[in-house]
Structure 1
Amino acid sequence: MQIAGLGFSEAAKWGETPEIQRSAQKTAEKAMTDGFVSQIQEMAKKDAQKGIYMSDDFIQYQLSYMKRTVSPDRSRPIAQAMSIMRRAVNQYGTYLMNLLGGYSMKAYLGVNSRYNTAEVYAPNGEMIAAQTCTGQWIDIQTEAESKFLDECTMVYLDAYRAARAEIKAAAQTPVQPTAGTVDLRA
């Protein structure tokens, strides 16, 4: 099914085309640099020592890194969509617009502007943001972002489990007497 006037399929809207899947996997893999993976592993070890799984610090670091390396630029197309919608006063219906940078939008303008909604699409046809009828813009997670978060979570989980296993093994290992200790066992 095509999204009328935009030339994108419904599958593209939700990141389900083979091209989007391949591109998303490449993007996620490229973002998983050795330095980033090492940082995740270190954070997982520290969290394991504290007994906290996925601390707020880790989540904030992961999301910040994702925004810099994986996420599409949502701010410009959203600002442009808002500008177009503000200028469409006293107009209603469905509007399809091409935005700068290959982005596009589909807006539903009602008689009462309180109930306007919009969707913003990346150049590949994947929806990246939407405006609700309350006027709030929300980010729609892309397939690349989803794959990146999955990979980060697996790296973190493996490191966390390894660190917890080390902690458990250390706790079960009996303390060996040293030269300065006396063994009072009989």
Structure 2
Amino acid sequence: MEPLRTHKGLVCPLNRTNVDTDQIIPKQFLKRIERSGFGQFLFYHWRFDDNGNPRPDFPLNDAKYKDASILVAGENFGCGSSREHAPWAVQDFGFKVIIAPSYADIFKNNCVKNGILAIQASEEQVQAIMEKAESEGYTLTVNLEEQVVYDHEGLEVKFDIAPYPKQMLLNGWDEIGVTLTYEEKINHYELVHQQP
């Protein structure tokens, strides 16, 4: 995974609450065995009509949000089933950061394991960002080391993150990567405890 320290990106607003993992990535698209390729199906039933045509009223189909890398959504984002395919789809579409008032715990943990920063902000802060994101080209800068999100218009949102997930994201580690930081100690232990 890529380290995430400071990220500046275009913001896409998804002004919906209780977005569950089946809406993020519908079940019929879970047949792939690799982690890539899920982005094309992100929010599929909201993005496309029954004939597969893009819905013009959905934000991700709006040209002004093309290449957005920061998604701002309503409370309880990622609720529902625990499918890890949901953060895979979010990431594969190009989002590196999500900002919402609250998340389902399993979804938020799966985001960290896959290199996505899920920031929790107040409803008022999220609403302010969504309103600003209605204008074309609205960007935010996310500084994970300082735990702050800001724009060039004076908005500043401080956020909390536990030390363990922060270190994982800053270093681009998944859980195997964390284990490998102890490789020298593991090798020493195995050497000392070898069977005769």
* TM-score normalised over the length of structure 1: 0.26
* Structure ID, larger Rg: 1
